[in-house]
């Protein structure tokens, strides 16, 4: 997962040369592996009136571009990913930053570490701050899995991997943060005080070792706590204490 800031109209250089935009959409030239679901290819962006500069990324997100989580920091998201319609992604992120929409999904094209093009569905979800302003966004990349033949009937089902488990109330708070709800909105809907909401969010920030709300939502997606491609986001039942 990566963190960036929202764009303005003026170009700005950064410390690393970003991959050039592809001249046209075309199929990938290599058979490099792709993540099976968006829950493992996540980044977060910080909401500022500037370019979408990546400040943090989950390993699967960075790996798609042949980079490490440290190397991808400083790249602009819109230099790495492009849509078929010019300026479409920029317009969508401006709408996200201004609060006109809570999330969007677009088909995008990027380049892997070998210079081959790949296609993916990108979903960006706004995350609100304490007073309701857009404090960041979570960006997920989903590569549709190719059709495969059904496994033999005697194949045992894959067990659900171990992962964080939340109380029912904390799961509702996390879902609200992922939907972009502010502290005031969460407190009103869940019949809690603002301090109670902030306390629970603070506990989850420490538990998931994340510095802010966008990073918290990003880490939750990366850990597979949400169903991929589902809106509004819901914590999977297996991640909620009975």
| pTM of the full structure | 0.65
Residue-range domain boundaries for the chain: 38-142, 168-239
Q: CA–CA separation, 136 vs 90, rounded Å?
A: 15
User: What's the pLDDT tens digit per position in 45-65?
Assistant: 665 545 688 877 888 889 999
Give residue for tokens 């590569």. Answer: 143
| CA 75 to chain centroid | 16
The secondary element (H helix, E strand) that includes residue 199 is helix 194-207
Report percent pLDDT > 70 for the chain.
70
CATH class, 168-239 region: mainly alpha
Q: Which has the higher per-residue pLDDT, 197 or 127?
A: 197
User: What's the pLDDT tens digit per position in 188-204?
Assistant: 999 999 999 999 999 99
Indicate the CATH number for domain 38-142.
Answer: 3.30.450.20
The HSE-up count of residue 11 (CA atoms within 13 Å, CB side) is 2
Q: Is the pLDDT of residue 155 over 60?
A: no
pLDDT of residue 146: 58
Report percent pLDDT > 90 for the chain.
24
Cis geometry, peptide bond prior to residue 232 (ω within 30 degrees of 0): yes
Supply the mean pLDDT for the chain: 75
């Amino acid at each position: 997962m990566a963190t960036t800031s929202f764009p303005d109209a003026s170009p700005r250089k950064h410390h690393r040369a970003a991959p050039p935009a592809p001249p046209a959409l075309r199929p990938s030239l290599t058979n490099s592996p792709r993540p099976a679901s968006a829950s493992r290819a996540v980044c977060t962006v910080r909401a500022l009136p500037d370019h979408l500069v990546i400040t943090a990324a989950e390993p699967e997100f960075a790996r798609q571009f042949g980079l490490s989580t440290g190397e991808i920091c400083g790249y602009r998201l819109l230099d790495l990913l492009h849509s078929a319609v010019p300026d479409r992604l920029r317009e969508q992120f401006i709408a996200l930053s201004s609060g006109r929409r809570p999330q969007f999904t677009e088909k995008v094209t990027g380049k892997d570490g070998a210079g081959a093009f790949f296609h993916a569905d990108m979903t960006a979800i706004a995350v609100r701050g304490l007073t309701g302003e857009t404090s960041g966004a979570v960006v997920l990349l989903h590569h549709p899995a190719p059709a495969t033949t059904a496994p033999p009937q005697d194949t045992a089902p894959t067990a659900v991997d171990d992962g964080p488990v939340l109380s029912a109330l904390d799961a509702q708070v996390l879902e609200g943060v992922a939907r972009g709800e502010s502290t005031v909105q969460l407190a009103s809907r869940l019949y809690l005080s603002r301090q109670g909401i902030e306390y629970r969010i603070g506990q989850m920030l420490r538990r998931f070792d994340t510095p802010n709300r966008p990073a918290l939502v990003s880490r939750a997606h990366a850990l597979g706590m949400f169903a991929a491609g589902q809106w509004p986001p819901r914590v999977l039942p297996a991640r909620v204490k009975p």
